[in-house]
Amino acid sequence: MLPTFAGSFTFSATRLLLPCCFALALHTGSLASPRAGIYLIEDDSGALHLTDDAQGRNASLVLETDKAATDQRPGQHPAQRHAPAPRDARLAEIVRTAAQAHRLAPELLHAVIAAESGYAVRAVSPRGAQGLMQLMPATARGYGVTDPFDPGQNIHAGARHLRSLLDQFNQNISLALAAYNAGAASVLRHHNRIPPFAETAAYVPRVLRHLAQQQPAAGHPSAPSP
């Protein structure tokens, strides 16, 4: 099942297609002229991939690009204008392997890490969340983490947790992100909607903005390597 979205947010040159009140997957199937944008596709193994080429694919539109804005500098792909700061090669490899192991797009993990800790390995929040993916101690223990500041343990546990939330909320990325921030119980208490907490309401679009900055190169899907 393809990921779906809930909520409504807008920013700069990219519009997030997040219908209000209920999640709606936008499938292109074999449409002759799919919208210009970034799509999520699911392969036969259930792994998620990002691509800007949805022609002939069953895909869910995640981000619709503003052509007028992206054409301002001819020959330059949007990802080049919005590329994230260079990352440590070891962290990038850990993210790649964690994404592959848990059937996630690596860009999604990078977006969560950027929003949660800004790639600060030893980050600690006022509420005690720790490490790159800001795991709460109880969550970390539940996934067998012995050192939350070890990048490998932290990222793999965070990826497992995110995958479990995606499965729990029927592949709805915005609800999974809300649950990652506020807890699954909060999302359930609010009838499978983003809880009306200021922090969570800001967190979901922040992660999606980071995701938008990692658009794949034209015509090439981004996915965990086999």
d(CA 96, CA 78): 22
Residue 201, CA atoms < 13 Å, CB-side half-sphere? 5
Give the contacts of 137 (CB within 8 A, at least 6 positions apart): 128, 130, 148
Active site residue 116: yes
Give the contacts of 139 (CB within 8 A, at least 6 positions apart): 157, 161
Catalytic site residue from 64, 107, 116, 199: 116
Q: How many CB atoms lie within 10 A of CB 145?
A: 22
And the tokens for 223?
A: 């996915």
Angle subtended at Cα 159 by Cα 122 and Cα 5, rounded to the nearest 5 degrees: 115
Give the contacts of 117 (CB within 8 A, at least 6 positions apart): 123, 131, 132, 133, 134
Give the residue numbers marked as catalytic: 116
